[in-house]
Chains A and B, each alone.
Chain A
Amino acid sequence: MYMTNSRTLIRMACALILGASFACSPSDLVSNAQLPPNVPDPSTTKTPAGALSAYYGTLTLFNLAFAGRSNGGQTSAVAVSGLISDELQAKEIGGPAGVSDQFMLMDGRTLPEYSSPQLESTAGAQGSIQLYDDLEATRGQANEARGLIGDYGTANMKELSGHLYAIQGVAETMLAEMFCSGVPLSTVDYNGNYTLRPGSSTQDILTHAVALFDSALTLAPDSQRVVALASVGKGRALLGLNDYAGAANAVAAVPDGFQYLETYPGSDIATTSGSQQATQSFAVVNSVFGGWELIASDKEGLNGLDFRSSGDPRTSQTAVGTTDHGVTVYHPDKYDQSGGGSVVLADWEEARLIEAEAALKAGDLNTWLGKLNHLRESAISPALPDTTDPGTPDARVNLTFRERAFWLYLTAHRQGDLRRLIRQYGRSQGVVFPAGLYRGSKGSYGSDVNFPPPALERVANPQYTGCLGRGA
């Protein structure tokens, strides 16, 4: 009886298992695999809400690129541009491993192109890489978002697309101003197909950026904010292309008082939100890392401007600590030490400065000086005393760029301006950028005026063979 029952049970179990197994097909059981719950369903992007969130995604990426990042990653455009120029200095080595080294390389203008990511990493030369990544990602995401908006966008789709063109234009302008000639502008389309591109020259990138700004102006004529941003951006790009009249013309309609701000939550909001910590991190004074990781400069490297010692309220600084090596750390008063607040991306001040430079180039000294003094009277309270014509062409150029440096202090313009002084005004890098001995025993400042793309670009993009030129 026992055996009979056992056998019957075994037979039934085996028959059941075998029958069930062989009745199934491999494709039946596995082809409808579910997405893990933590992976967003790709189909949710193909909706109006998805298209809108892709638009916001673009803005967020650019927000990171411009002045954001969490602690230890002060590689935004504002920080990087400030380091290689005379706005910021790197603290001495002694902070968290890997943080200070890359800043010193940027600050000391020693930025060789590396043939492999390994060499690059070993040398600690990664300071500009995150900026490059963020700016290129902004371009890719703008393209992606425009595709979604085109298919699933709502009534204001043109304005959104126009805004995306403007943001992409600014990102490409920054790539041109801060990186070497030869940055590739590869593309990724709406379906995920990507196309690799060879390096584009600085001129080509700026020309492309102008076209993007024009697209923005065409698509969003009713959005004052987008139009003004695209206008200032176009003026900035044309200035880089040596087209002063075109630049002035582009910004002529930008009204006084316009500001396009990139805002950042303070560290309190960012760290308790449970979301991305896009603080204005280059400005954060963080006790965890023993203070601010950067130092606001004053007369850096022979050629640096007297941002602090001039007493100018536009570039005032406050001592916030001392490095391990006894160096006083200054923080720019322009920004909150919590990392919260806004950073100007484009504003009417830049528009008037573009007009002033164009007037100077055209020999219209009255307009030039008038524009400069209009800013000194209207853009700050209390007003600054008017400036006067120094009398010589070189001094007028110096004054123009000094005013730009003070008005646009720590807004990622300074590096581009110094390069333009070399490229368009015939100055040498040795009298424009910080030069001479760098931190005493560490040697001298290098001769680089821009950043190379990361080595990964060289090894992963067969069409890219390196910078086309490392000059201004």
Chain B
Amino acid sequence: MHVARWFVLAVIVGGTFAPVRARAQNTSTKDSSNTGVAPLQRQVTLAMHDVTVVSAIQAIDQQANLRLSYTDRLPHLDKHISIAVTNMPAGDALTKVLAGTGIVMRVTDKGRITLVRQERRAENDASPDTVPGELWGRVTDSVTSKPLAGAIVSMAGTKFTTTSNDSGYYWLNPVPSGVATVVTRMLGFRAITRVVAVIGGRQNREDFKLEMEMSRLQEVITTATGPKRKLELGNDITIINVDSIAQTEPVQNITDILETRVPGLTVQRTSGAPGDPSRLRFRGVHSALADNDPILIVDGIRVYAAQSAARSSNLTNLGDASGFPAPSPIDQIDPNSIQTIEVLKGPSAATLYGSDAANGVIVITTKHGRAGPTTWTSHVEYGVTTQPGKYPLGYFRWGHPLGSGGEQQQYCALRNQLCILDSVSRFQLLNDPEYSIIGTGNRKATTLGVSGGNQSITYNLSGSYSDDIGLVKLPPYEIGLYQTTVGTAPPDWMRRPQDYESWSTQAGLTMKISPTANVTINSSLSRDNQQRSTLEGEIPALMGMYVDTLTKTYLQSSGSYFQTNTGVFGDFYRRVTDQATTFTNGVTLNWQARSWLTLNADAGMNSIDRQDGNILPRDVAPSGTDTSGAVTLGRGSSLVRNVDVRGTATAPLPFGFRLQTSLGANYTSTSTADLTIGGTNIPIGTTSVSGAGQISSPQESEIDLTTFGWYIEPTISHDRLWISTGLRLDGGSTFGNQAKLPLFPKISVSYLISDESWFPFKKLFTTLRLRGAYGQAGVQPGVGDRLRLFNQQQVWLDSGFTTTTNLNTLGNTQLRPERSKEFEGGFDTDLFSDRVTIGFSGYNQTRYDALINVPVPPSVYGNYITSVEENVGVINNKGFELTLGFVPIRSDLITWNTQVSLSRNSNKVLSLAPGVTPFFDPTGTERVVAGYPLFGRWARPIIGYQDVNKDGIIESSEVQVGDSLVYMGSTEPDITASFGEQFSLFRGRISVSMMFQYQGGLTQLNQMAQTDQIFSEALNDPHAPLGQQAAVAAMGLTTYGEMQTVNTLRFNSFSIGYAFSNSTAHLFRAQALSIALQGTNLALFTNYRGKDPNVNAYGSGNGLADTGQLPQPRSWQVRVSATY
């Protein structure tokens, strides 16, 4: 009956099936005079080698004064054993000694402990004359002595289990008399297993003082079916305590927090502009579609987090130099409002999140306050940002025509035999303060928070503000030129265009609405303003521009030739803004309906309102470009609505097992609606389409996407073993009407083997857990991908406007979601008294039915239909993740903590459907080929070169380029590692931390090498290696020479902090006061020949290439934190 209890969960909300109820009496009258230590709890220490069982029994009896009674006819008393225990409860020691002898303990009616044969005890227990007893006691925090409510107390191997009430008391009544093993556990505390004696007809008291569990395995994780200890899950789920990190390390957004702390994560950064987004990829790239983004859950509410959708660019993207990506919605969440972040990296962990979750799930829990006095916290910070390192130099050969007197100075190409070299200039405008547009930026930020509460209500309110001014600036000489030509000084946004300003507020409130139910309400409101201009788009041009200072001519490289410009800058007149206002509201209901039944419901919404602008004011650009002005406005909104309901029932099973089953349903609806409209010939001083001389065609986009799923998760557990299974059935509005609803199963096993009595390496391993998990999850197709759609519009034809229809998409009614299957196995262990912690996970994830945009060649329908989406691929990612924590020194004076993580991922397209041949992705730089990584880089190889004419110069005609493409490398790194050191000195008064990050195996396409080839060393220095010359000479034929497999080691962050003494803090009326100096991106060691291999040009999709984007800046900041 117990096993089937979950089955009636859905219909018996107010059921009365609880077989074992916790008594809810008024406990204040209950007490006991038995305050001494129970005999079986008295501690013994033994170190006996090769002694008889009876000798060991006598030793225990003597030390604990048990006054045992037994006869010498008991079996195996003369068996030889060895035992070594230190300060172990006598009951436990006896259990250890008697293991395998057939002897068990029995408690007489008078409370005496006797040793009897096992079969005799069974007879005794089964006897109808046996008088049952009562076991009761109190569960408290070992440090604070506060009562712990909700602790689970169970008798191992029996059906008897209960939970402690609000005062910490528990009762098990009636229970069989005798010796029993009682296990008490509670999330966040170390479980206690104790042998106790239950005397029939009596109230036997056993109190439990639980120690706060510091082990990583005891950390509580928010799963799809509610909180669980990490220990119980078969997956490696990364938990980040943001609150503590933010106090000591430089973090500005969630990406910063995740980047070096989640093994298996690759961050694809778009540029170093403030607020510029990054894409997160867990365990490689799985889908050929643009969307490899994880989903984001905040306090149980799904929020909009697309990083690769088309609308992740600025809504006014005109497809030109002013087309910037918009800030990531993930980074718009204030990190100061976050308590923890949990990362589920693959489908084996994310199965129950359904058909969107195969790319991983990021679960954020915000602060809700803790019971206690009101606490105010605040911090202020100020910092400066600079450009790290120098840009690579360009070369310019000066010479004169053969036969002339040298007065005609001109560019003297290396291959030009008619030109006599006079000198070689080395230059780089971006390293020249007079011309460079890269200067110094700054950042300021502040937060204020208050939290507190009591047993009935806890709360947290916080707010933050930050403002980042980017590096890009208009150089003084250009400001002067502008004043001369336009007649006024350039506006501030033109001088310092990069600005990212953000403010946010967050409130979290948890109320107890009944003794068994609470409600949590979360609400946050934030606004982000980003400003850019086309000035930063000049960086690639400046990288390859030579200024002849004598003649003031400006020569810009354009591949194999250069052109003469009229000035340094092409355009810095267009201002691009993005404003996002985010409102998230959620409510969570938790109800402990019965001791064995909990019901939960989450409901919420997340709304983002976007207001973007792309403005070229009238009369700010010099003549020759558009002086009449232009404006494009984008208005967009996203709305995510989310309801999740679930129930969890618990029932005991025979042999100490327990069954916990969760059943739930989840509904998520995401709607986006965008509208852009533009105007030209605008009035002076306006930034609106109103009054514009001409209005351009508005562009409208609206997408509704819905998923609904059921899930069930039965878990069988023992003290050391957890076996969890699960199933989710999903429907999605994007599935083709001929596709079956996907069913996603999972199973996970977690085994705390170190707690086994027979485990032989207890001295070495504090804990050792083995785990394994298998699961499936999906990724939905695009919203309209299944549909064959048409464009209908009014078009001028012959003499007037006519409605026309053209094919827009081919559609595919067979589309179904991608299905990812993942196996993950590994272990977690704490060694040497927790000084060393190791976590290891190996995984093998295969994505079936991978959605691939199969290119449709233009001979079918021009560029109006360029692809059709098909479920054609099988893509595999496998690898491992290793985390190592080491505490070499742990003392009051100094604590030294080392954290290392290493992950390796191997990506491969296993197969494509029959008839699907290798193809390029739409960006044309990457290729999908079975047997090779998804979107690997390919190029026609340089198979040889020879200086045929013996002039010491390799020309394109002297380079042999292969006809067939060869694989060059992956667009994702295959090895990532981070290495962190933390020092805490003088009882935490001084703290120092630093973090390094390594990436290896990424193959980058350095497009700047081609764009700037005319000024390259190879084309200007006759001493340049021939191989280098060949690579450049062949650039018109192949990208071979532009591709480079890159390894990078980045000194990611450094922080040194000082906590002032209490007396000093009190001077400022604070309870605590600290100051820290923090730096990020402090050094980069790489073999990359370009500037920075970890930025790319694309705001969406999987395309990665270095097109001269602004690299990540270096920053130094001072942070002062105070608690009141």
Contact surface of A with B, Cβ cutoff 8 Å: 3, 6-7, 10-11, 13-15, 17-19, 21-22, 24-31, 33-40, 42, 44-45, 49-50, 53-54, 56-57, 59-61, 63, 93-94, 97, 101, 112, 115-123, 129-130, 132-138, 140-141, 144, 183-188, 192, 194, 196-197, 263-265, 269-278, 287-288, 290, 324, 442, 453-457, 459-462, 464
Question: In the complex, what distance in Å separates the CA atom of A57 from the CA atom of B514?
Answer: 66
Question: In the complex, what distance in Å separates the CA atom of A67 from the CA atom of B730?
Answer: 51
Q: Which residues between 101 and 137 of chain B lie within 8 Å of chain A, taking CB atoms? A: none
Contact B859 A461 (CB under 8 A): yes
Q: Which of B664, B732, B925 meets A118, CB within 8 Å?
A: B925
Q: Could you tell me the dominant secondary structure of chain A's interface residues?
A: helix
Contact A26 B709 (CB under 8 A): yes
In the complex, chain B residues whose CB is within 8 Å of the CB of A34: 704
Interface string of B852-875 (1 = CB under 8 A from A): 000111111111111000000000
In the complex, chain B residues whose CB is within 8 Å of the CB of A60: 795, 797, 802, 804, 806
Does any Cβ of A come within 8 Å of B424's Cβ? no
In the complex, chain B residues whose CB is within 8 Å of the CB of A18: 10, 13, 599, 645, 647, 665
Q: Which of A57, A120, A276, A461 meets B857, CB within 8 Å?
A: A461
Contact B601 A17 (CB under 8 A): yes
Q: Which of B570, B645, B1039 meets A97, CB within 8 Å?
A: B570
Q: Which of A44, A50, A288 meets B628, CB within 8 Å?
A: A288
Contact A136 B731 (CB under 8 A): no
Evaluate whether A21 and B665 lie within 8 angstroms (CB atoms) in the complex, with A33-B706, A39-B789, A97-B321 already known: yes
In the complex, chain B residues whose CB is within 8 Å of the CB of A275: 697, 793-796, 801
* Number of cross-chain contacts by CB at 8 Å: 302
Question: In the complex, what distance in Å separates the CA atom of A34 from the CA atom of B669?
Answer: 13
Evaluate whether A136 and B861 lie within 8 angstroms (CB atoms) in the complex, with A6-B514, A33-B704, A40-B792 already known: yes
Contact surface of B with A, Cβ cutoff 8 Å: 10, 13-14, 320-321, 513-517, 558-559, 561, 563, 566, 570, 589, 591, 593, 599, 601, 624-626, 628, 643, 645, 647, 664-665, 667, 680, 694-698, 700-704, 706-710, 729-735, 737, 741, 783-784, 787-799, 801-807, 810-811, 855-866, 917, 919-920, 923-925, 940, 965, 1007, 1010-1011, 1036-1039
Contact A123 B645 (CB under 8 A): no
Question: In the complex, what distance in Å separates the CA atom of A291 from the CA atom of B645?
Answer: 65
Question: In the complex, what distance in Å separates the CA atom of A263 from the CA atom of B799?
Answer: 7
Q: What are 30 inter-chain pairs, A to B, with CB distance below 8 A?
A: A3-B515, A6-B513, A14-B591, A21-B643, A31-B737, A35-B784, A36-B703, A53-B804, A57-B804, A61-B806, A115-B1037, A116-B920, A116-B924, A132-B858, A136-B858, A137-B862, A137-B864, A184-B857, A187-B860, A265-B796, A272-B695, A273-B801, A274-B697, A276-B697, A276-B794, A278-B796, A442-B561, A453-B859, A456-B924, A459-B920
Contact A456 B805 (CB under 8 A): no
Contact A119 B1039 (CB under 8 A): yes
- Shortest distance in angstroms between B728's beta carbon and chain A's nearest beta carbon? 10
Rank and list the top 6 A-B pairs by shortest CB-CB distance, nearest first. Answer: A26-B731, A137-B862, A117-B924, A133-B862, A33-B733, A460-B855
In the complex, chain B residues whose CB is within 8 Å of the CB of A115: 940, 965, 1037-1038
Contact B730 A123 (CB under 8 A): no
Contact A123 B807 (CB under 8 A): no
Question: In the complex, what distance in Å separates the CA atom of A142 from the CA atom of B680?
Answer: 35
Contact B563 A93 (CB under 8 A): yes
In the complex, chain B residues whose CB is within 8 Å of the CB of A140: 807, 860-862, 865
Contact A30 B624 (CB under 8 A): no
Q: Which of B591, B704, B804 meets A10, CB within 8 Å?
A: B591
Closest to A442 in B: B561
Question: In the complex, what distance in Å separates the CA atom of A288 from the CA atom of B625?
Answer: 7
Question: In the complex, what distance in Å separates the CA atom of A123 from the CA atom of B729?
Answer: 50
Question: In the complex, what distance in Å separates the CA atom of A119 from the CA atom of B1041?
Answer: 13
- Shortest distance in angstroms between A376's beta carbon and chain B's nearest beta carbon? 30
In the complex, chain B residues whose CB is within 8 Å of the CB of A265: 796
In the complex, chain A residues whose CB is within 8 Å of the CB of B561: 442
In the complex, chain A residues whose CB is within 8 Å of the CB of B1011: 122
- Interface hub of B13, B566, B599 (most chain A Cβ within 10 A): B13
Contact A196 B859 (CB under 8 A): yes
Contact B924 A264 (CB under 8 A): no
Contact A11 B703 (CB under 8 A): no
In the complex, chain A residues whose CB is within 8 Å of the CB of B559: 122-123
- Shortest distance in angstroms between A273's beta carbon and chain B's nearest beta carbon? 7
Closest to A325 in B: B564
Contact A26 B741 (CB under 8 A): yes
New A-B pairs, 8, CB < 8 Å, besides A37-B702, A459-B919:
A21-B667, A27-B741, A33-B734, A39-B784, A118-B924, A137-B806, A138-B862, A464-B857
In the complex, chain B residues whose CB is within 8 Å of the CB of A39: 702, 784, 787, 789
Contact B861 A14 (CB under 8 A): no
Contact A42 B788 (CB under 8 A): yes
Contact B924 A455 (CB under 8 A): yes
In the complex, chain B residues whose CB is within 8 Å of the CB of A118: 923-925, 1039
Contact B1039 A186 (CB under 8 A): no
Contact A36 B810 (CB under 8 A): no
Closest to A100 in B: B563
Evaluate whether A192 and B788 lie within 8 angstroms (CB atoms) in the complex, with A6-B517, A57-B805, A144-B807 already known: yes
Contact A26 B730 (CB under 8 A): yes
Contact B861 A188 (CB under 8 A): yes
- Shortest distance in angstroms between A43's beta carbon and chain B's nearest beta carbon? 10
Question: In the complex, what distance in Å separates the CA atom of A33 from the CA atom of B815?
Answer: 15
Question: In the complex, what distance in Å separates the CA atom of A197 from the CA atom of B860?
Answer: 9
In the complex, chain B residues whose CB is within 8 Å of the CB of A101: 558
Contact B805 A50 (CB under 8 A): yes
Contact B558 A57 (CB under 8 A): no
In the complex, chain A residues whose CB is within 8 Å of the CB of B563: 93-94
Contact B920 A460 (CB under 8 A): yes
Q: Which of B321, B797, B803 meets A59, CB within 8 Å?
A: B797
In the complex, chain B residues whose CB is within 8 Å of the CB of A273: 794, 796, 801
Question: In the complex, what distance in Å separates the CA atom of A53 from the CA atom of B798?
Answer: 14
Closest to A454 in B: B858
Contact A15 B13 (CB under 8 A): yes
Q: Which of B645, B788, B1010 meets A21, CB within 8 Å?
A: B645
In the complex, chain A residues whose CB is within 8 Å of the CB of B801: 273, 275
Question: In the complex, what distance in Å separates the CA atom of A36 from the CA atom of B787?
Answer: 12
Question: In the complex, what distance in Å separates the CA atom of A117 from the CA atom of B558?
Answer: 18
Closest to B671 in A: A36
Q: Which of B514, B707, B862, B865 meets A30, CB within 8 Å?
A: B707
Contact B710 A141 (CB under 8 A): no
In the complex, chain B residues whose CB is within 8 Å of the CB of A454: 858
Q: Which of A13, A187, A270, A453 meets B589, CB within 8 Å?
A: A13
Question: In the complex, what distance in Å separates the CA atom of A49 from the CA atom of B804?
Answer: 10
In the complex, chain B residues whose CB is within 8 Å of the CB of A133: 858, 862-864
In the complex, chain A residues whose CB is within 8 Å of the CB of B920: 116-117, 456, 459-460
Contact A271 B696 (CB under 8 A): yes
Question: In the complex, what distance in Å separates the CA atom of A53 from the CA atom of B561?
Answer: 48
Closest to A261 in B: B798
Closest to A185 in B: B859
In the complex, chain B residues whose CB is within 8 Å of the CB of A290: 624-625
Contact B697 A263 (CB under 8 A): no
Q: Which of B793, B804, B806, B857 meets A186, CB within 8 Å?
A: B857
Contact A186 B860 (CB under 8 A): yes
- Shortest distance in angstroms between B789's beta carbon and chain A's nearest beta carbon? 6
Question: In the complex, what distance in Å separates the CA atom of A290 from the CA atom of B625?
Answer: 7
In the complex, chain A residues whose CB is within 8 Å of the CB of B917: 462
In the complex, chain A residues whose CB is within 8 Å of the CB of B645: 14, 17-18, 21
- Shortest distance in angstroms between B1014's beta carbon and chain A's nearest beta carbon? 13
Contact B517 A10 (CB under 8 A): yes
Contact A35 B787 (CB under 8 A): yes
In the complex, chain B residues whose CB is within 8 Å of the CB of A138: 862
- Shortest distance in angstroms between B634's beta carbon and chain A's nearest beta carbon? 15
- Interface hub of A26, A35, A194 (most chain B Cβ within 10 A): A26
Contact A460 B804 (CB under 8 A): no
Question: In the complex, what distance in Å separates the CA atom of A141 from the CA atom of B919?
Answer: 25
- Interface hub of A15, A33, A94 (most chain B Cβ within 10 A): A33
